[in-house]
Amino acid sequence: MIYISPSILASDFANLEQEALGMKAACADMLHIDVMDGCFVPNISIGPCVISSLRKKSDLFFDVHLMIQNPLKYIGDFANAGADMITFHVESDSDVAETIKAIKSLGKKAGIALKPKTDANVIEKYINDVDMVLVMTVEPGFGGQKFMADMMPKVKTVRDMCNACGREDMLIQVDGGIDNSTAPVVAENGANVLVAGSALFSKNDYKEAVAQLRSAAESAAV
Ligand code: DX5
Ligand code: ZN
């Protein structure tokens, strides 16, 4: 099963409600919401109040990607704002186990994210506690960057590691440079949640764009 999570970073922020409704109508499985603090990454995006407003307009599953220095401090805010899954970076300042615990205690799904230079084995001890592992396929911070094909061995390692721990059900997300040509490559290596910003929101027909991305991945899924 392949899940498509359009990243609203590439959407029209002045029309977020319409963009979210458009992706729902296009059969997207979730909405990827990038939160950047200008500290963990050199860019600033949106925070809990925008998510909270959007929550009132959309019933899509909110896949919130925190690129912030101190995620633990804000888990409550993002949970209250309406996040369904909260993914944070292992490279952040927060204690990883504590942060997962905080997310879970609020009844949300938890994800851990790895920047390109971070080794897959740092997440091994958390595998049984999380719902998703995000392997970044660009340096976090900006949309529209070039896909890093050299992250594929890491995706494969994470998939093998999860399977070895009996977590065949683990969601493995890839984020950055995903389009119809890179989707088969990530799926072949075991990713099953594809984030795409520019590749989807640049298209006029969201439904066709989501369907094409899904079928490109499904054709190669393991
Ligand atoms: C980058 C963000 C991504 C970004 C992806 O730091 O985490 O979610 O929106 O954008 P594209 O799909 O355009 O590479
Ligand atoms: Zn993201």
Q: pLDDT tens, 185-213? A: 999 999 999 999 999 999 999 999 999 99
Report whether residue 198 contacts ligand 1, using a CB cutoff of 6 Å.
Answer: yes
Report whether residue 63 contacts ligand 1, using a CB cutoff of 6 Å.
Answer: no
The count of structural domains within the chain is 1
Task: Indicate if 84 belongs to the active site.
Answer: no
The residue range of the domain holding 151 is 3-218
Task: Indicate if 205 belongs to the active site.
Answer: no
Tokens 């911070």 correspond to what residue? 141
> Is residue 76 predicted with pLDDT exceeding 90?
yes
**Mind spelling out the 3-state secondary structure of 54-77?**
HHCCCCCEEEEEEECCCHHHHHHH
CA of 137 to the centre of ligand 1 (A): 9
Ligand nearest to the CA of 179: 1
Catalytic residue among 29, 34, 131, 179: 34
Longest dimension (CA), the chain: 45
Q: For 89-142, write each residue's pLDDT tens digit.
A: 999 999 999 999 999 999 999 999 999 999 999 999 999 999 999 999 999 999
- In whole angstroms, what is the distance from residue 120 CA to residue 154 CA? 6
